[in-house]
Amino acid sequence: MHRPDPHSYYDSVQPRARRLRLKLGVDFAAKRIDGEVALEFGEAVSGVLDLDTKGLEILGAQVPGQGPIPWELGEADSVLGRRLRVTMPDGTREVTVRYRTAPDAMALQWLDPQQTEGKVAPYLFSQCQQIHARTMVPCQDTPIARVSYQAEVTVPEGLTAVMSAGPDGDEATGDGRHTFRFTMPQPIPTYLLALAVGRLESRDLSPRSRVWAEPETVASAAWEFAGVEEMIVKAEGLFGPYPWDRYDMLVLPPSFPYGGMENPRMTFLTPTLLAGDRSLVDVVAHELAHSWTGNLVTNASMEHFWLNEGFTVWAERKILRTLHGDDAAALGWATGQKALEDSLERFKKEPHLTVLRMHLEGIDPDDAFSSIPYEKGARLVAALEAHVGEDRFGRFLRDYMDAFRFTSITTEQFCAFVEEQLPGALAAVNAKAYLDEPGMPATAPQFHSAQLDGLTALAEGWAGGQRPTEAQIAAWTPAELLVYLQKLPRQLTQADCAWLDAHFKLMGRGNHEILVEWLTLAAAADYEPAFPRIREVLGRVGRMKYLRPLYGALGQHARTRAVAREIFAAASPGYHGLSRRVVQSVLESYPA
């Protein structure tokens, strides 16, 4: 037995599926999917096959033309789920498994009509990263075992299904339901399997891109993301031709736990990006960059997550620089620095989770999730670029993409390739300190601009009475205001909060990055005028990036702790399971 991924029962000496054929029936009343998956091997195989499952009801397994085959479920593991072992006769070319998902499957969030924008029809969306595809389909749920797939999804008439795949026709079934077909020809890791079902409409943004959303949201989404084609072109200039044919996006309801999810051909996005002024569309640059760094070349397991996210943060800021200039990129690095410092503080008692080459045997990768693989990883990539020069690193990046195209690799494979292509570069930037040592290396790159340095100095002068002028306030972009707020002292007085809100009109901001940064400061100050807005945001938005700091700040005072517990009791049924876990961990850290 050889299990290369600590988070999967996948055994590399067993046959590996090359394509999945899915038949999914969406049952909103039961909050279940009735599923059938055929795992195709591309050749005749036999023997034992171990699949990942979690919470699935297995109804049977068979080999077409040969009938039912033996199967058994192993003991439940709190992280891995249960191993499904099937025994295949000689000559097996595919295995079919029938199953049903559980109503509380972590990959699936079922929304009642009242939880949607339109409030007239239910909604379903999936989130399979980190290791939750196994709660939606029995599979070899590891990035190593990439698969292409076809799918038929049957939903109630009047609803639309979309997936991380190309549409391949649809038809009414005649019984009040509708079947949508999809094809993903390129091999993807299973965490990129994605499905959404709801009242959806689309708007074309370019010949190869469109945005989907509920009818109530689609026009504002189309306006907000109208510039996506320019982003794609800029990204192609850096990384080569776009490899997935189409770049479509879906704006989800507010309970979506992430800012975005880079599902190929159908990026999922939080509606908190719809600021009304295009000030947050740069998140799309991150998800778009994943088309190369993460989706095309993928981490072999979540122990090497930095290969996905570190490269993508670096790539995102390269795109921003080509679009908006050096100052915009510097502000992006500054915003990331705040997130990095917050994560290092959160894991100060678990320093083993601050290295890039992680060892996660027995650890749920969701519990290890933080900004560290993103921001520490990006700084390692930036250090390598600075050492060898931008042009040489650009050529290296193209060669890297070509060498590992549509494969999943480890940190060791990456390092071997760097040493071959850029001899001595890893040692020169002290890569081992990033990969294997806690915290940040003292030699990590620093990012400056006159604009950033001025904002930093102004914020650091707050305690001494220094305040921005009316002219400065009027001239600042949203990104500048965000950096200024992030660099203010974390413990302000209520008078400070009143000044900030009066001068920046923070309570009415549509940009959630600014709004949540402000509300976090206000909560930490026990600033009661902000309580209604805090209740509104935490009651509506399920994005983990916002929940953790807001609930954390509410923990600083007895009164705000009571407010936090009251809000969570009311809001938690509408949160995604991942978001509930995050908030519960924050509440458990409150003083008794």
Instruction: From 241, 240, 290, select the one nearest 396 (Cα to Cα).
Output: 240
Q: For 97-133, what is each residue's pLDDT tens digit? A: 999 999 999 999 999 999 999 999 999 999 999 999 9
pLDDT interval class at 502 (50, 70, 90):
very high
Instruction: From 519, 520, 591, select the one nearest 552 (Cα to Cα).
Output: 520
The one-letter amino acid at 99: Y
Q: Could you confirm whether 374 is annotated as catalytic?
A: yes
pLDDT at 1 over 80: no
**What angle do the packed helices 558-571 and 577-588 form, to 10 degrees?**
160
Q: Which fold has domain 203-436?
A: Neutral Protease; domain 2 (1.10.390)
* Cα 67–chain centre separation: 40
Rounded to whole angstroms, the Cα distance separating 180 from 162 reads 8
Query: What residues have CB less than 8 Å from 454, skipping those under 6 apart?
Result: none
Query: What residues have CB less than 8 Å from 209, skipping those under 6 apart?
Result: 228, 229, 232, 246, 247, 248, 249
pLDDT at 51 over 80: yes
| Both tokens assigned to 471 | 């002219």
pLDDT at 541 over 70: yes
What kind and span of H or E run contains 512?
helix 512-524
Instruction: From 485, 568, 551, 492, select the one nearest 526 (Cα to Cα).
Output: 492
For position 592, what pLDDT does the model report?
82
* Cα 141–chain centre separation: 17
Strand order in the sheet with 267-269: 201-206, 209-213, 249-251, 267-269, 260-261
80 phi-psi bin (left φ>0, alpha ψ -120 to 50, beta other): alpha
**What angle do the packed helices 512-524 and 494-504 form, to 10 degrees?**
160
Rounded to whole angstroms, the Cα distance separating 200 from 167 reads 14
Instruction: Please compute the mean of the pLDDT values over residues 310-337 and round it to a whole number.
Output: 95
pLDDT interval class at 455 (50, 70, 90):
very high
pLDDT above 90 as % of the chain: 99
Rounded to whole angstroms, the Cα distance separating 57 from 52 reads 13
Instruction: Please compute the mean of the pLDDT values over residues 405-410 and round it to a whole number.
Output: 98
Query: What residues have CB less than 8 Å from 584, skipping those under 6 apart?
Result: none
pLDDT interval class at 282 (50, 70, 90):
confident
pLDDT at 276 over 90: yes
Instruction: From 446, 328, 439, select the one nearest 382 (Cα to Cα).
Output: 446
| Both tokens assigned to 592 | 């008794």
What kind and span of H or E run contains 123?
strand 123-126
pLDDT above 70 as % of the chain: 100
Rounded to whole angstroms, the Cα distance separating 74 from 3 reads 16
pLDDT at 461 over 90: yes
Q: For 160-188, what is each residue's pLDDT tens digit? A: 999 999 999 999 999 999 999 999 999 99
Mean pLDDT, the chain, integer = 97
Q: Could you confirm whether 287 is annotated as catalytic?
A: yes
pLDDT interval class at 21 (50, 70, 90):
very high
Domain ranges across the chain: 19-197, 203-436, 490-588
Helix H, strand E, coil C: the string for 342-390 is HHHHHCCCCHHHHCCCCCCCCCCCCCCCCCHHHHHHHHHHHHHHHHHCH
Instruction: From 396, 438, 436, 440, select the one nearest 419 (Cα to Cα).
Output: 396
For position 181, what pLDDT does the model report?
98
Instruction: Please compute the mean of the pLDDT values over residues 422-451 and round it to a whole number.
Output: 96
Helix%, strand%, coil% for the chain, nearest 5 = 40, 25, 35
Q: For 233-264, what is each residue's pLDDT tens digit? A: 999 998 999 999 999 999 999 999 999 999 99
Domain 19-197 in CATH 2.60.40.1730? yes
Rounded to whole angstroms, the Cα distance separating 370 from 588 reads 18
Task: Look at the alpha carbons of 277, 310, 77, 69 in this order and tell me if their dihedral is positive or negative.
Answer: positive
Rounded to whole angstroms, the Cα distance separating 93 from 42 reads 6
Instruction: From 309, 379, 308, select the one nearest 337 (Cα to Cα).
Output: 379
pLDDT interval class at 325 (50, 70, 90):
very high
Query: In angstroms, what CA-CA distances link 158 with 155, 172, 403?
Result: 8, 10, 45
Q: Which phi and psi angles does 39 have, rounded to 5°?
A: -100, 115
The three-class DSSP label of residue 414 is helix
> Exactly one of 374, 400, 551, 575 is catalytic; which is it?
374
Q: Which fold has domain 490-588?
A: 1.25.40
Cis-peptide into 130, omega within 30 deg: yes
Q: Please state the pTM of the whole predicted model.
A: 0.97
Query: In angstroms, what CA-CA distances link 539 with 74, 547, 551, 568, 582?
Result: 39, 10, 12, 8, 15
> Exactly one of 152, 214, 224, 287 is catalytic; which is it?
287
For position 319, what pLDDT does the model report?
94
